[in-house]
Amino acid sequence: MSTAALPLDVARVRQDFPALCTPFHGKPLIYLDSAVSGLCPRPVIDRMSHYQAYEHTNVHRGVSTLSQEATDRFEEAREKVRAFINAPSPKQIIWTRGTTESINLVAQTFGRQRVQAGDEILLSAMEHHSNIVPWQLLAEERGARIRVIPMNDAGELILDDLEALLSDRTRILGVTQVSNVLGTINPVKEIIARAHARNVPVLVDGAQGVPHLPVDVTDLDADFYVFSGHKLSGPTGIGVLYGRQELLEAMPPWQGGGSMILSVAWEKTTFCGLPGKFEAGTPAIAQAIGLGAAIDYLLGLGLDRVGAHEHELLAYATRRLQAIPGLRIIGQAKAKASVLSFVLEDIHPHDIGSILDHEGIVVRAGHHCAQPVMQRMQVPATTRASFSYFNTQEEIDALVSGILKVQEIFQ
369 catalytic, yes or no? yes
347 binds other proteins (CB under 8 A): yes
Among 77, 126, 149, 381, binds other proteins (CB under 8 A): 381
CB of 32 to other proteins, least distance (A): 17
Give the Å distances, CA to CA, from 280 to 164, 261, 274, 348, 365. Answer: 40, 8, 12, 44, 36
- The CA distance from 358 to 134, in Å, is 37
* Residue of 21, 40, 272, 369 with catalytic role: 369
Segment interacting with other proteins (CB under 8 A) among 4-12, 141-149, 173-181, 366-374: 366-374
Interface of this chain with other proteins, residues 115 to 174, rule: CB under 8 A: none
CB 203 within 8 A of CB 103: yes
Max Cα-Cα span within the chain = 74
Q: Decide the pairing of beta strands 120-124 and 170-176.
A: parallel
State the Cα torsion 154-367-96-246 to the nearest 10°.
40
Of 211 and 353, nearer to other proteins (C-beta) is 353
Of 2 and 22, nearer to other proteins (C-beta) is 22
In angstroms, the first-to-last Cα distance of the chain is 53
49 binds other proteins (CB under 8 A): no
326 binds other proteins (CB under 8 A): no
316 binds other proteins (CB under 8 A): no
- The CA distance from 177 to 82, in Å, is 18
Of 319 and 350, nearer to other proteins (C-beta) is 350
271 binds other proteins (CB under 8 A): no
Of 100 and 108, nearer to other proteins (C-beta) is 100
The site that binds other proteins (CB under 8 A) totals a number of residues, namely: 18
105 binds other proteins (CB under 8 A): no
Q: Residue 269 in 3-state DSSP?
A: strand
- The CA distance from 283 to 164, in Å, is 42
CB of 25 to other proteins, least distance (A): 6
State the Cα torsion 63-64-67-68 to the nearest 10°.
70
**Exposed / middle / buried, residue 294 (Cβ in 10 Å: 0-12, 13-18, 19+):** buried
27 binds other proteins (CB under 8 A): no
Segment interacting with other proteins (CB under 8 A) among 4-12, 159-167, 181-189, 352-360: 352-360
Of 75 and 357, nearer to other proteins (C-beta) is 357
* Site residues, other proteins (CB under 8 A): 25, 347-351, 354-355, 357-358, 365-367, 374, 380-381, 409-410
Catalytic residues: 369
